[in-house]
Amino acid sequence: MIRVNGVARSVVPATDRGLAYGDGVFRTLPVMHGRPQHWRRHYAKLASDCLRLGMICPDRDLLRAEVESVAGRQSECAVKIMITRGKGERGYRAPTHVEPTRVVISSALPRYPREYASGVALFPCRLILSAQPALAGVKHLNRLENVLARAEWDDPRYAEGLLQDDSGHAICGTMSNLFVVEGGALYTPDLGRCGVAGVTRERVMEAAARRGMKCMSQALEFDRVLAADEVFVVNSLIGAWRVCAIGTIATRTGDVTARVQEWLDEPEADD
Amino acid sequence: MIRVNGVARSVVPATDRGLAYGDGVFRTLPVMHGRPQHWRRHYAKLASDCLRLGMICPDRDLLRAEVESVAGRQSECAVKIMITRGKGERGYRAPTHVEPTRVVISSALPRYPREYASGVALFPCRLILSAQPALAGVKHLNRLENVLARAEWDDPRYAEGLLQDDSGHAICGTMSNLFVVEGGALYTPDLGRCGVAGVTRERVMEAAARRGMKCMSQALEFDRVLAADEVFVVNSLIGAWRVCAIGTIATRTGDVTARVQEWLDEPEADD
């Protein structure tokens, strides 16, 4: 089911700036038992991403009601929220008065093989992520790099890709954030130049901090990922997947990833 | 007027990949006396841009008929063509079988002050264009950099912005290509790392070659633009604008830009 600006319809104006320029942001989150999971975090990220583009984020309760409405009586589903700058005339300059467009879409939760949680292989993508600090971290609608990277492999043995920047630093998957374990500490790539700073990445970092486990965001050379004690990728729909190979190179595994998976299963107070 | 996949309607599916990811390309061209100008070139560019994204471009005559249809009886107008990869499910991976979406929109020609042809000032944008060779040159729908750059100034004294890359090379305007004149020769920025290779840029380069005037695409340091004999910007709707200042620094002017404007006014054989 789809709602556009609160109305049950499945189309957007052809002149929307989301289509014309990718001028907007989005999120995808799971709904369980009719409740959007980690709504507080997803809304905060949506609002902060809107701010980065100079847009006003629609009201929190309004959006939540629309998410619950498209989820309807499905016991569980995935909901995607897109917020665009709204309708526009021709030209890059945004109109002075413009209402953001809200698009809320429910779909079945993706069915990944159950084995993925215990180990997936990552395809090392050739595409190099470009560096744009003005947009880095934001989940905006300019996602051609992800589309091109995802088109690089067809082999079902690879559940996800691995992307790097032009300095040879590992950044993220095509749809996930990356973590490595080294000496009992967690490290995740710094996203100041490219990549999307996801909600599950934030949850892992906070959960580690609460438990006194060191967790740092830093530049992470590709070779360091290959040599790490453990590697895992996370997003809001998959939780955490243990990585057992990058390309044809097996990566090491340990028991920290399973602990992270347990952390992610714990309910959060205000959701 | 708007046609979507040939039908007179003003909406696209909310699940279109053009909206979700900016997964598509576009062009804007003038229609004069009911005829799309330089159609051969615009179609060729559209087809080559589609190829870069791994999409099949819709048929040339079909698209031309749709352009003429939205122009209707208007004696002159601007027509924008967007081609997206089509409707998609959730996820970056493109469906195996998917029909591109065609969106064709007519609007009034932009009314720029007549003085612009004889001299405009460019706003030196702070935003640095990111380098992505996999997408460079393509007029794709991921245009947030242009949106952010155009949002940097509001002062009507600036008709256009000037963008550079992370090596301090001038690349383009927010909506135009850049040329400089040095010793009677033309130079335009190399677009192998970022920027859009426009149809009018190509026309200028070919027109210069036909007249035996040297015209080269090369890396062009920002300071070289400031010091050039002449500077001008081009696109399909504006033709060529002479540049008389970049920020508060006056640039030199000469008579080559006027000759380029004359070249662009000449009709082309097969259009």
pLDDT, tens digit (0-9, with 9 covering 90-100), for A48-107: 999 999 999 999 999 999 999 999 988 799 999 999 999 998 899 999 889 999 999 999
With vertex at residue B187, the alpha carbon angle to CA B249 and CA B194, rounded to the nearest 5 degrees, is: 85
The answer, yes or no, to whether residue A271 has pLDDT greater than 70, is: no
Q: Provide the pairing of β-strand A185-189 with A215-218.
A: parallel
pTM for the predicted model, two decimal places: 0.97
With vertex at residue B62, the alpha carbon angle to CA B58 and CA B63, rounded to the nearest 5 degrees, is: 70
**Distance of CA A139 to CAs A38, A90, A111, A136, B97, Å?**
17, 24, 23, 8, 27
d(CA B131, CA A131): 7
Tens digit of each residue's pLDDT (9 = 90 or more) over A197-241 = 999 999 999 999 999 999 999 999 999 999 999 999 999 999 999
In this prediction, residues B39-61 reach a mean pLDDT of: 97
Asked if the Cβ–Cβ distance from B21 to A23 is below 8 Å, we say: no
Tell me which residue in A15, A140, A166 faces B144 most closely, judged by beta carbons.
Answer: A140
Residues of B whose CB is below 8 A from A132: 128, 130, 145
φ, ψ for residue A241 (rounded to 5)?
A: -110, 130
Tell me which residue in B78, B103, B142 faces A144 most closely, judged by beta carbons.
Answer: B142
Report the DSSP beta bridge partners of residue B137.
B196
B83 touches A at CB < 8 Å: no
B132 touches A at CB < 8 Å: yes
Question: Residue A185 belongs to what H/E stretch?
Answer: strand A185-189
A110-117 long-range contacts, Cβ below 8 Å, gap at least 24? A110/A78, A110/A237, A110/A238, A110/B90, A110/B91, A112/A159, A112/A238, A116/A159, A116/A238, A116/A241, A117/A239, A117/A240, A117/A241, A117/A242, A117/A261
What ipTM does the predicted assembly reach?
A: 0.97
In this prediction, residues A37-50 reach a mean pLDDT of: 97
Asked if the Cβ–Cβ distance from A143 to B90 is below 8 Å, we say: no
Closest CA to B194 of B236, B151, B138: B138
A150 touches B at CB < 8 Å: yes
DSSP state of B9: -
**Distance of CA B176 to CAs A254, B81, B109, B173, Å?**
54, 17, 16, 5
Residue of B nearest to A93 (CA): B150
Closest CA to A12 of B1, B100, B9: B9
Residues of A whose CB is below 8 A from B142: 21-22, 142-144
B118 touches A at CB < 8 Å: no
- Report CA dihedral (B119, B121, B122, B123) to the nearest 10 degrees: -170
A52 touches B at CB < 8 Å: no
Average pLDDT, chain A: 96
Average pLDDT, chain B: 96
A7 touches B at CB < 8 Å: no
The pLDDT, as a whole number, for residue B51 is 98
Percent over 90 (pLDDT), chain B: 92
Question: Token pair of A163, please?
Answer: 């992307």
Q: Decide if A182 contacts A188 (C-beta within 8 A).
A: no
Tens digit of each residue's pLDDT (9 = 90 or more) over A163-200 = 999 999 999 999 999 999 999 999 999 999 999 999 99
Residues of B whose CB is below 8 A from A110: 90-91
Mutate to test the interface with B, among A109, A127, A141 (most CBs of B within 10 A): A141
The pLDDT, as a whole number, for residue A182 is 98
Q: What single string gives the DSSP state of each residue in B221-250?
A: BHHHHHHSSEEEEEETTTEEEEEEEETTEE
The answer, yes or no, to whether residue A44 has pLDDT greater than 90, is: yes
Residues of A whose CB is below 8 A from B131: 130-131, 166
* Residue A117 confidence class, pLDDT cut points 50, 70, 90: confident
Q: What single string gives the DSSP state of each residue in B137-199?
A: B--BS--HHHHHHHTT---TTEEEEEEEETTSBEEE-SSSEEEEEETTEEEEE--SSSSB--H
d(CA B269, CA B271): 6
A90 touches B at CB < 8 Å: yes
Number of neighbours of residue A113 by Cβ within 10 angstroms: 9
Asked if the Cβ–Cβ distance from A13 to B16 is below 8 Å, we say: no
The pLDDT, as a whole number, for residue B232 is 98
The pLDDT, as a whole number, for residue B271 is 60
The nearest CA of chain A is from the CA of B183 a distance in Å of 34
Tell me which residue in A9, A22, A149 faces B142 most closely, judged by beta carbons.
Answer: A22
φ, ψ for residue B91 (rounded to 5)?
A: 115, 150
The answer, yes or no, to whether residue B150 has pLDDT greater than 80, is: yes
The pLDDT, as a whole number, for residue B98 is 92
Tell me which residue in A11, A144, A147 faces B12 most closely, judged by beta carbons.
Answer: A11
The answer, yes or no, to whether residue B173 has pLDDT greater than 70, is: yes
Tens digit of each residue's pLDDT (9 = 90 or more) over B5-14 = 999 999 999 9
d(CA A146, CA A204): 23
Question: Token pair of A181, please?
Answer: 């374990």
Tens digit of each residue's pLDDT (9 = 90 or more) over B84-105 = 999 998 899 999 889 999 999 9
Asked if the Cβ–Cβ distance from B150 to A92 is below 8 Å, we say: yes
Tell me which residue in B94, B132, B149 faces A145 most closely, judged by beta carbons.
Answer: B132
In this prediction, residues B214-225 reach a mean pLDDT of: 98
The nearest CA of chain A is from the CA of B154 a distance in Å of 9
Residue-range domains of chain B with CATH: 2-107 (3.30.470.10), 114-265 (3.20.10.10)
- Report CA dihedral (B180, B185, B189, B190) to the nearest 10 degrees: 180
The residue to which tokens 């208007």 are assigned: B74
**Distance of CA B122 to CAs B158, B161, B186, Å?**
5, 5, 19
Question: Token pair of B48, please?
Answer: 């080559």
The pLDDT, as a whole number, for residue A23 is 98
Residues of B whose CB is below 8 A from A85: 147
* Residue A114 confidence class, pLDDT cut points 50, 70, 90: confident
Tens digit of each residue's pLDDT (9 = 90 or more) over A252-270 = 999 999 999 999 999 887 6
Mutate to test the interface with A, among B31, B49, B144 (most CBs of A within 10 A): B144
* Cβ contacts from A onto B, under 8 A: 172
